[in-house]
Amino acid sequence: MKTPKRLQPLLEEGVIDGVVRQLMSGKEAMVFVVRSAGETRCAKVYKEADQRSFRQAVDYTENRKTKNSRQARAMAKGTRYGRASQERAWQSAEVDALYRLANAGVRVPKPYNFHEGVLLMELVTDAEGNAAPRLNDVALSADEARDFHQRLIGEVVRMLCAGVVHGDLSEFNVLASADGPVIIDLPQAVDAAGNNHAPAMLERDVSNLRNFFGRFAPEILATNYGDEIWASYQAGTLTPATTLTGRYVREEKAVDLDGVVREIGDAERDEAARLMRKEIRRADVIS
């Protein structure tokens, strides 16, 4: 096939030896099967911002680091340089997350190289050696659904122990490989400790998994792993070996209405006293 323009520099520099075929085209990137270092791998070519349907919502980019203050100002102003910097930061987020998670033992494609908006990584395969399908294209038995669900809950925990929340995890972002599920698509991954939306994103990720696997094994729909995982993380007790039940019940504390009324009354009295002092000072100035 004809070499895509964005892959030509990698071919010229010997990073890849050839392009086999296009594997898929998604909302944020196109993926190609390539040959590199004697192996069959895949190259993820990120789309330009104006060609993507997935927008960089502020929920995901909150608290992401920038290289310098000039870059941060440019990104805030939306200048041409700022938009280019934002694109690089968006792409680098996935690269950083992949290396971080792979080192933590999370089942993600092994990254090899990142060059000019192209991510070279492992090609995840099925038992026949073909590109592994996404979960949404796989029919599961009840036992397979239970097994995959438990494995993925374990991966969510392992990710969180590494300080990362996927942020967009669902059956569309998991591959059914020959030896189990592999998590993909991480440009929207967020730092668990530095993003205020991380708890809600983790709960949504876990809910997506629950709802999907619950189609094949209905008892999964009654589980509540999201709150249990986050509560353990907040308490500082979460490890990849933590035993979870899926039956967590969030503790609801009763509201101290009398205390709230007292706080309001104190605030009103403080404000009245402030206004009185202001009037006294004004009278002194006039006299």
pTM recorded for the entire structure = 0.76
| Percent above pLDDT 90 for the chain | 62
CA dihedral (176, 179, 180, 184) in degrees, to 10, reads -60
209 part of a folded domain: yes
123 part of a folded domain: yes
285 part of a folded domain: no
| Interval 122-136 mean pLDDT | 95
280 part of a folded domain: no
Domain with 71, as residue range(s), is: 5-234
pLDDT of residue 78: 53
What residues have CB less than 8 Å from 232, skipping those under 6 apart?
238, 242, 244
pLDDT of residue 256: 66
pLDDT of residue 50: 52
153 part of a folded domain: yes
| Interval 162-183 mean pLDDT | 96
Structural domain count of the chain = 1
pLDDT of residue 27: 76
262 part of a folded domain: no
CATH code: domain of residue 21:
1.10.510.10
Task: Quickly count: other Cβ atoms within 10 Å of residue 71's Cβ.
Answer: 17
User: Is the model's pLDDT at 223 over the cut of 70?
Assistant: yes
92 part of a folded domain: yes
Per-residue model confidence as pLDDT tens digits over 21-75 = 999 987 788 999 999 999 999 999 987 765 444 444 555 455 545 455 554 454 4
Per-residue model confidence as pLDDT tens digits over 226-268 = 999 999 999 999 999 999 999 987 665 556 677 777 878 777 8
Res. 269 pLDDT band, cuts 50 70 90: confident
Residue 156 CA to residue 235 CA, distance in Å, equals 17
Question: How long a stretch of residues is the chain?
Answer: 287
Give the Å distances, CA to CA, from 247 to 213, 250, 253.
17, 10, 19
pLDDT of residue 280: 76
pLDDT of residue 57: 52
Q: Residue type at 124?
A: V
257 part of a folded domain: no
User: Is the model's pLDDT at 111 over the cut of 80?
Assistant: yes
pLDDT of residue 163: 96
DSSP state letter for 68: -
pLDDT of residue 56: 46
Q: Residue type at 77?
A: K
Per-residue model confidence as pLDDT tens digits over 183-216 = 999 988 999 998 999 999 999 999 999 999 999 9
Q: Which of 150, 164, 165, 160 is nearest to 236 (CA)?
A: 160
Give the Å distances, CA to CA, from 154 to 148, 187, 258, 274.
10, 21, 43, 56
pLDDT of residue 70: 53
User: Is the model's pLDDT at 92 over the cut of 90?
Assistant: no
Res. 275 pLDDT band, cuts 50 70 90: confident
